[in-house]
Homo-oligomer: A and B are copies of this chain.
Amino acid sequence: MKRKITLKQIARELDVSISTVSKALSGSKEISEDTTQKIQAFAKLYNYRPNNIALSLKNRKTKTIGILIPEIVHHFFSTVIRGIELVANKRGYNVIVGLSNESFTKEIINMEMLANGSIDGFILSISKETLLKQDYHHFNATINQGMPIVMFDRVVNEIKCDKVIVDDYKGSIKAVNMLIEKGSKNIALITTMDYVSVGKLRTQGYLEALEASKIVPDSNLILKIDDSLVDEDLEDLENEIEQFFKSNNKIDGVFAVNELYAVTAMKVARKLGLSIPDDIQVIGFTDGVLSKHATPSLTTVSQHGQKIGEQSADLLIDRLELEEDESLDYTDENERNENFKTIIIETEIIERESTK
């Protein structure tokens, strides 16, 4: 077997970044013509073929789905994988999981590795760094080479592919409306930085719900957490929320965009002598083990991770089997694109003890 060269090796040899190599090979205009020529010539010399994906696709089916997720220690992603597995097994497919660790470069390396003959298509959620850079050339290159992608949860409009998303926006509105209906007057939001698309949508839902009830949003009541500063022990997170509560002592309701923030907020509230839900009501997003087992148990907006996984797998396998039938001969690019679907999974509020 001839030794295959990888993006990483090309990058090292030519002393450029992996992303530059990846872009040059996909013909991106961001890279200078000179560099592009050099990289393409080198890749050709060492037999690197960015389009061997399409070649392998035409000749064999691996019956394997590649899943690419940002992190593994995360209940939501775990339940999505369980959903994908359920449908994949039922329909005769296997799954294999790659991890980007929220890194742009690792996302590219993993896609190259998996796309190189191991899998028939991708189900993925975009890494934070990629969202921050807004650089999606690797997804487009993969799709253009004939390998289908289904994106879930963290998706972007710029990429034309099947998508499965949660109605983050409506879910937040439901949550904040419930807090208002149950008597909270000063509702705080604990959220992520804006570049995380789901955090942003949930923040918009919060603002929208307040305005619809004629409540003027108060920027002091919004706490944006920088996840990269949260350590394993969660002490920083606790301290940050404690300071936030102390400097806004009128807060009587909290909407948190994930369950870790929500459970930590409850812990801090108890520490400050507040009774839940009488003094302060709390609603989280994502229904994981923490929500169920917290004391008091947490009212949450459930994202139905397993359903997201199931729908994603069905979308991908439908497309793979359709392409098989039609021999993948689309002459009109637009004709193919028109068929892309976006499935929105409705959220649902699960009422527990942290609300009245």
Contact = CB atoms under 8 A, between A and B. Distances in A.
Contact of A97 (B94, B99, B101, B234): B99
A85 B99 contact: yes
B73 A82 contact: yes
A356 interface: no
A118 interface: yes
Contacts of A3: 59-60
Contacts of A293: 263, 267, 290, 293-294
A59 B79 CA distance: 38
Interface residues of A, number: 43
Interface in A56-99: 56, 59-60, 62, 64, 72-75, 78-79, 81-82, 85, 89, 94-99
A114 interface: yes
For the complex formed by this chain, how many copies does it contain in all? 2
B113 A94 contact: yes
A295 interface: yes
A97 B293 CA distance: 29
A289 interface: yes
A109 interface: yes
A55 interface: yes
A53 to B, nearest CB: 12
A55 B82 CA distance: 34
A94 B78 contact: no
Given A81-B72, A293-B267, A60 B96 contact: no
B73 A96 contact: no
B94 A60 contact: no
Contacts of A177: none
Interface in A220-239: 234
Contacts of A96: 96-98, 110, 113-114
A109 B94 contact: yes
A1 B60 contact: yes
Contacts of A72: 72, 78, 81-82, 97
Interface string A283-320: 00000011011110000000000000000000000000
9 contacts: A1-B56, A3-B59, A4-B60, A73-B79, A85-B99, A97-B97, A97-B98, A234-B292, A290-B293
Closest 10 A-B residue pairs measured CB to CB? A295-B295, A97-B97, A73-B78, A3-B60, A1-B59, A72-B78, A72-B81, A263-B293, A118-B118, A290-B293
Interface of A: 1-4, 55-56, 59-60, 62, 64, 72-75, 78-79, 81-82, 85, 89, 94-99, 101, 106, 109-110, 113-114, 117-118, 234, 263, 267, 289-290, 292-295
